[in-house]
Amino acid sequence: MGLDPSGLDFDCYSVPEVTEELRQQTGPSFRLHASTSSGKLKIQSPTKTSLTDVSDKAKTLGDKLVLSPTDTAVIALALDLLKQGENPVIVSDDYAVQNVAEELSLTYQSLATLGIREKYNWVYYCPACFRQYPTGATQDCTVCGTRLKRKPLDKVAAKQRDS
Ligand SMILES: [Zn+2]
């Protein structure tokens, strides 16, 4: 989402799932390559134990809370680092990620506080009744049950002005 690890004063970690997601995008994948080859960004898989801890915690928070496998891996890696005596901060604007992190006593920060070059404000919305939801709050519209879609915030705002 535009985070540039080379501009940060501390070690950065990510998971292989994120590398995979960024491969298609020129800007982010360039920064990813630059950061990993300089050693600034470490790509690491979380332990199975922590993955299970995160999934279990997410379940106790209710089925409305949606964590993608990538989100789960990011939180699990932070949990591993915490167990190793580090003091990790999860960087995410995702509502579900922040909630689960809080439950696990993990610190999180939104991207906006870190000086981001490009920031995409995603919004989840119902294509049938146009209600909007925070990221990760729910997969289906709680009013009409339609599967939610995701759009950059600006586009959704523009579309609503037209109609
Ligand atoms: Zn709806």
How much distance in Å is there from the Cα of 6 to the middle of ligand 1?
42
Q: What is the mean pLDDT of residues 102-112?
A: 85
Q: What is the mean pLDDT of residues 36-44?
A: 83
Pairing of strands 107-109, 89-91: parallel
Q: What is the DSSP string of 126-162?
A: -TTT--EE-TTS-SB-TTT-PBPEEEEHHHHHHHHHH
How much distance in Å is there from the Cα of 97 to the middle of ligand 1?
24
Q: Using only the alpha carbons of the chain, give its radius of gyration.
A: 17
Q: What is the pTM of this model?
A: 0.64
Q: What is the mean pLDDT of residues 53-76?
A: 87
Give the pLDDT score at 151: 75
Determine the residue type at 37.
S
Which tokens sit at 149?
């879609």
Give the pLDDT score at 5: 67
How much distance in Å is there from the Cα of 125 to the middle of ligand 1?
8
How much distance in Å is there from the Cα of 120 to the middle of ligand 1?
23
Q: How confident is the model at residue 161 (pLDDT cuts 50, 70, 90)?
A: very low
